[in-house]
Amino acid sequence: MTALNESTKDAPTASSAAPFADPGALGLGAFALTTFVLSLANANLIPGGGVAVLGLALFYGGIAQLLAGLWEFANKNTFGATAFCSYGAFWLAAWFLLTSGNKVDAGGLGLFFLAWAIFTLYMTFAAIKTNLVILLVFIALTLTLIFLAIGGFATNDTMNHIGGYLGIITAIIAWYGSFATVTNATWKRVVLPVWPSK
């Protein structure tokens, strides 16, 4: 069972309705790893992460996560499909902004993060009916994007650094979700709980 599934069951189950293996572990892993690398740069812990993230943003956070979202559509998981396709596109858009050579001013960068914060906020309300791990990912990501938006509009390094630290927390929670999904599916029992909505 996907960590992003609307189902309230905690254990992975075989279902004839799902034609594909669970793409949740891939989608969460791609999101977590790419977010982690960029957030280390945003927090000013490893500034070189801003360059190192480019390949990840295109291939792993972007393309691989987008594919996970398409598989979620095939598995009839509306929440997972919307989340993975959207954040896959987020990373592809970020890659474009960082490599296109176009200069994005402070207002434009703030607007980019603000728009994604709005999307993430309403997805957070939908996440209430998934499980606790996914809900925490969306709460942490909403806060991350809000601080990055403020940092962008105000050209404020402190806000960007706070956003970076929140992004690291977001990535760690998402990694746990990926770890739980792939481990539980492989062991065919609940090894790592995700605390589904009741």
Q: Model-level pTM?
A: 0.92
104-132 pLDDT, tens per residue?
Answer: 999 999 999 999 999 999 999 999 999 99
Domain regions of the chain by residue span: 24-100+107-187
What integer is the mean pLDDT of 79-100?
A: 97
127-181 pLDDT, tens per residue?
Answer: 999 999 999 999 999 999 999 999 999 999 999 999 999 999 999 999 999 999 9
How many Å apart are CA 97 and CA 196, to the nearest integer? 37
Pick the CATH number of 24-100+107-187 from 1.10.287, 1.25.40, 1.20.120, 2.60.120: 1.25.40
**Contact of 185 with 15, CB cutoff 8 Å:** no
